[in-house]
Each structure stands twice: as structure tokens, then as C-alpha cells.
Chains A and B, each alone.
Chain A
Amino acid sequence: DAKTTQPNSMESNEEEPVHLPCNHSTISGTDYIHWYRQLPSQGPEYVIHGLTSNVNNRMASLAIAEDRKSSTLILHRATLRDAAVYYCISDGSSNTGKLIFGQGTTLQVKP
């Protein structure tokens, strides 16, 4: 399975944008990049995923480097409710859909 590297923790101020980086240098051409987050005492929650082009949804934006070896999750205006562990996953799971989670980035949002 492909591996990802993320910073252990990041801090942000409320109402400011947050850029969460992820390196996936061994990604193969067909591997999607997935982002999930886990709020305290809850199960992981889907955020966004993409293959090559940048992606936007109501929660966040995903910027994928041209060589696909890295990506950035962008939260446009952080709120206190965005404090969570953010997981970047590059699955390499062929046709199963299973996701292999790493350690993730713990995001703290300061008021």
C-alpha cells in the first residue's frame, strides 16, 4: 500500500485559511488521494478525494501537485469545529476500496 507523510500537528487561528500538507512520493498512476478527519469521540469523516485535478466541495479544497507526489488540503476559513485529526490516504488498494490510515495531522484551532 502507498505511504503518506504528514506533519504530526498544526495550529491555526479561527477564521483563517489552513493548508494541510501531505507527501505521497510513491503514489502510482491510478491511486486516488483521500482525506478524512476524525473529531474527538467520533468515527472518521470523509472530507474529499481526487486523482489529478484540484477538487472542491463544501467542506474543503484539494490541491494536487502536477507530479502527484504531494497534495494540500485547504480549509478556507477554519472554525473551532474543524479541530480534528486529518488523515491523508493514498490507498494503492487495487479494486477493494479499503483505506489504510496513517498517523494523521492533529489540527488545533485557536479562537
Chain B
Amino acid sequence: DSGVTQTPKHLITATGQRVTLRCSPRSGDLSVYWYQQSLDQGLQFLIQYYNGEERAKGNILERFSAQQFPDLHSELNLSSLELGDSALYFCASSVAGMNSPLHFGNGTRLTVT
């Protein structure tokens, strides 16, 4: 058990809809990272927050947004969903930034129909 909790585990929704994925980091971890994993793209880094502030941005679409709250949990919002957004979404956390091991949750499987 990594200590990172992601909810829900599974999500099925229709195209055009909006969903929110939630992540609770390990106790004491200040950094939260979001990754997307699809069969054809592998693990893609989306975005990182550190203590409530955006720290780094990757291949995140404009339809997607994230935030980290004062209690350090994070939410990833996906809107105007398309079939191609179907993927596993992982959250990871670490104590600080550079070179601290990342601890990953077990992901949210999103299916867009």
C-alpha cells in the first residue's frame, strides 16, 4: 500500500460530460503529480502541484484542469470528454521536489462511451 488514495476506482461516462478525480497524498507529502496512461501513449505526465501551487505542467489538455487544496488533497477535472480520454489516471505524491521517490496510487480507470 503506497498510502496514496484515489477515488473513484472506476468511472464510466458519456462524451461531452465532465468528471472529477480525487487524490489524497501520503501523509506529509507536499507534492502531487497527475499522470495519464493509455495503451497507445504510455504514462504521460500531466501536471504537478507543490503545497498548493502549480509547479510543472506537461501534456495536459486545456479541457483538463487540476488544483491542490489547503489540506493537500488534489482534484483533476476533465471536461467535454472525448472517447480518446478513456485511460487510467494516476496520482502520485512525494515529500518534496527533486529526487524524492514518487508514490503512486492505484489509479482511476475512466471509460468514455
Within the complex, the shortest CB–CB distance from B93 to chain A, in Å, comes to 11
Q: A96-B56, A97-B99 are in contact. Are A44 and B94 (CB under 8 A)?
A: no
| CB <8 Å contact, A98 and B2 | no
Chain A: interface secondary structure? loop
Q: Which of A32, A34, A43, A96 contacts B2 (CB 8 A)?
A: A43
Complex CA–CA separation, A87 to B105 (angstroms): 17
| CB <8 Å contact, B31 and A45 | no
| CB <8 Å contact, A43 and B45 | no
| Interface flag for B92 (CB, 8 Å) | yes
Q: Write out the residue numbers on chain A whose beta carbons fall within 8 Å of the beta carbon of B55.
A: 96-98
Within the complex, the shortest CB–CB distance from A58 to chain B, in Å, comes to 14
Sort chain A's interface into a size bin. Answer: 20 to 34
| Interface flag for B43 (CB, 8 Å) | yes
Complex CA–CA separation, A25 to B101 (angstroms): 23
| Interface flag for A9 (CB, 8 Å) | no
| CB <8 Å contact, B105 and A43 | yes
Instruction: Name B91-113 residues within 8 Å CB distance of A.
Output: 92, 94, 96-107
| CB <8 Å contact, B42 and A100 | no
Instruction: Name B1-43 residues within 8 Å CB distance of A.
Output: 2, 4, 31, 33, 35, 42-43
Q: Which of B96, B103, B105, B106 contacts A97 (CB 8 A)?
A: B96
Digit string of A31-72 for contact with B (CB within 8 Å is 1, else 0)?
010101000011111100100000000000000000000000
Complex CA–CA separation, A100 to B94 (angstroms): 15
- Please list the 9 inter-chain residue pairs (A to B) with the smallest Cβ-Cβ separation, ordered nearest first: A43-B104, A97-B97, A101-B43, A46-B101, A96-B56, A98-B56, A97-B98, A44-B104, A43-B90
